[in-house]
Amino acid sequence: MSQMIKVGMADLNICKAPDALTTIGLGSCIGIALYDPTTKISGLAHIMLPDSTQIRNNSNGAKFADTGIQMLLDDMIKAGANKSKIVAKIAGGAKMFEMSGGSASTINVGQRNAEASKQKLKELGIKLLAEDTGLNYGRTVELYSETGEYHIKSVGKDLKIL
């Protein structure tokens, strides 16, 4: 029996085949899925903010794109994944409310989360295979370690498979 492992907000986790990882209701946050097709070791991080260096309160590395992706990668390598084979898919980064104001640190945070995630992946030399980011609705994501498929579910929309 395969298990569906839940990843909370500002959290990350890895799994091996045949298990899957899910995070429910991504808003402006990003679900970063890393996958090594050779070992089927999979990882999912649910980050909230783009940059840990811009925030005083940064003790939880899983909260940020820069530190979260690094931690997820480290965990996967420790579990036996081949760094050179790991590929990425990302989803989320919506703008839930069309507010123009808000604090400087959270303006367009969804878009900035997506950009920071892509930047970090590039820095680490991880290829981004697909993304489903932006727009104005929430996304529930599921990463299946058997196939590397990344399923995206939204309210009133068809299932999207990356």
Partner 1 sequence: MLTLDEVNAKYFDVLKELGNIGAGNATTAIANMLNLRIDMKVPTVAFLPVEELGTAIGAEDDIIVGIMLGVEMDIEGSMMFLLDMNSAHKIVNRLMMRDESYAEPFDEMDLSAIKEVGNIIAGSYLSALSSMTNLAISPTVPFVAVDMAAAILSVPAVQFGVFGDHALMIETKFSDDLGISGHFILMPEEGSYEKILASLGLSI
Site for partner 1 in 20-49 (CB under 8 A): 24-29, 48-49
Cβ atoms within 10 Å of 105's Cβ, excluding its own: 12
Q: Is 106 in the site for partner 1 (CB under 8 A)?
A: yes
How many chain residues are in contact with partner 1, going by CB under 8 A? 34
Cβ atoms within 10 Å of 133's Cβ, excluding its own: 20
What is the rounded CA–CA span in Å between residue 91 and residue 25?
Answer: 11
What is the rounded CA–CA span in Å between residue 127 and residue 34?
Answer: 10
Q: Is 139 in the site for partner 1 (CB under 8 A)?
A: yes
Residue carrying the six token digits 């209701």: 25
Q: Is 98 in the site for partner 1 (CB under 8 A)?
A: yes
Q: Please, which residue, 60 or 70, has the CB nearer to partner 1?
A: 60
Q: Are 66 and 54 in contact (CB under 8 A)?
A: no
Interface positions with partner 1 (CB under 8 A): 8-11, 24-29, 48-49, 55, 57, 60, 63, 94, 96-99, 101-103, 105-106, 109, 136-140, 155-156
